[in-house]
């Protein structure tokens, strides 16, 4: 009896994985119209932001920052994954209304697969960032720890994704609210500027998970130094708590999704 239950569970998990794989592959193909050249258009956005900000700020805000181009690029790339991933999962449930209303597919699999798709695109940005770091010679063995940061960033984005996708079903103006919120958050996070030591921004940023996310990445990839433990702990706490809260809300609301979309 126990064995058959184990077999059934394994079979079930394989099904879920297959759904994740097929839907993420499909949406990736869809976005790139099966050509895989489409990824260059995806990279164009962050590269444009980088070019403009670099042109505007390299002589001003960035003049005192070591390796300002990499400082800027790493900030933009890390931010871009969170912003792209969260805004994509915002519409994960509403955008798949047809499936939700007609097939008893696990609802969380749909959100996860959207996030995997965003993550795969993000890997191309990471590759470019790493290439620049390698060319400018900032990569050290410490950079390997970046994979752990990536995992935490993924979990944080996923938690946000669960929360947003579930709430968006019930509140149609969440899209506008979220876009304004992320814009404010973007300016509040030191992406193209630095925080002065001991200023009020430094204290506030302690509660900004994106600050830690970006600081960890910069320290590891650009400056080759071991980041402070506090940053690891704060980002990990934010990631886990967001995931738990997001999933709890999603789980509570998901039985009613089909009725409201």
Partner 1 sequence: MNYDPAIEVINLTKQFIVRNNFTFLSSGINLLTGKNEPQKLTALDGISFKVDRGEVLGIVGRNGSGKSTLLSTIAGIYKPTSGEVRVNGKITPLLNLGVGLQRRLTMRDNIYLTGALLGLSREYMRDNFDAIVDFSGLNDFVDFKLFQFSNGMIARLSFAIAIHSDPEILLLDEVFQAGDAGFSKKSGGKMKELVRSDTTVVLSSHNDEIIRDAVDRVLWIDKGKIMLIGSPKEVLDAYASDREKKRSGWMNNRKKFFEVFG
Binding residues for partner 1 (CB under 8 A): 14-15, 18-19, 21-23, 26, 29-30, 33-34, 98-105, 170-174, 177, 255-256, 258-259
- Minimum distance of partner 1 from residue 132's CB (angstroms): 33
In the complex, the smallest distance separating the C-beta of residue 213 from partner 1, rounded to whole angstroms, is 27
Closest approach of partner 1 to the CB of residue 91, in Å? 15
> Phi/psi zone of residue 73: left (φ > 0), alpha (ψ -120 to 50 degrees), beta?
alpha
Of 120 and 130, CB closest to partner 1 = 120
- Which is nearer to partner 1, 177 or 204 (by Cβ)? 177
Q: Which CB, 104 or 198, lies closer to partner 1?
A: 104
CB neighbour burial string for 197-221, b if at least 16 within 10 angstroms, e if fewer:
eeeeeeeebeebbbbbbbbbbbbbb
Q: Which is nearer to partner 1, 181 or 226 (CB)?
A: 181
Q: How far is the CB of 238 from partner 1 (least distance, A)?
A: 23
Closest contact distance (angstroms) between CB of 74 and partner 1 is 34
Give the nearer residue to partner 1 in terms of CB position, either 151 or 177. Answer: 177
Q: What angle do CA 209, 249, 107 make, to 5 degrees?
A: 105
Q: Are 246 and 159 in contact (CB under 8 A)?
A: yes
């Amino acid at each position: 009896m126990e064995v058959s239950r184990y077999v059934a569970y394994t079979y079930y998990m394989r099904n879920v994985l297959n759904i994740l794989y097929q839907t993420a592959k499909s949406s990736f193909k869809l976005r790139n119209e099966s050509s895989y050249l489409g990824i260059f258009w995806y990279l164009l956005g962050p590269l444009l932001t980088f070019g403009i900000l670099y042109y505007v700020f390299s002589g001003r805000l960035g003049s005192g920052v070591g390796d300002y181009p990499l400082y800027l690029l790493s900030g933009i790339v890390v931010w871009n994954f969170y912003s792209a991933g969260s805004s994509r999962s915002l519409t994960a449930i509403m955008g798949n209304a047809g499936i939700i209303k007609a097939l008893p597919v696990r609802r969380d699999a749909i959100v996860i697969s959207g996030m995997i798709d965003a993550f795969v695109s993000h890997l191309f940005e990471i590759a470019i960032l790493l290439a620049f770091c390698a060319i400018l010679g900032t990569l050290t063995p410490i950079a390997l720890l970046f994979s752990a940061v990536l995992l935490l960033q993924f979990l944080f984005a996923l938690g946000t994704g669960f929360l947003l996708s579930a709430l968006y079903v019930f509140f149609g103006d969440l899209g506008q609210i979220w876009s304004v919120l992320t814009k404010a958050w973007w300016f509040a996070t030191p992406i193209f500027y630095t925080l002065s030591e001991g200023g009020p921004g430094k204290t506030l940023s302690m509660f900004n998970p994106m600050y830690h996310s970006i600081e960890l990445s910069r320290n590891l990839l650009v400056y080759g130094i071991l980041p402070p433990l506090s940053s690891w702990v704060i980002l990990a706490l934010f990631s886990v708590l967001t995931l738990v809260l997001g999933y709890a809300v999603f789980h509570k609301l998901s039985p009613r999704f089909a009725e409201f979309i």
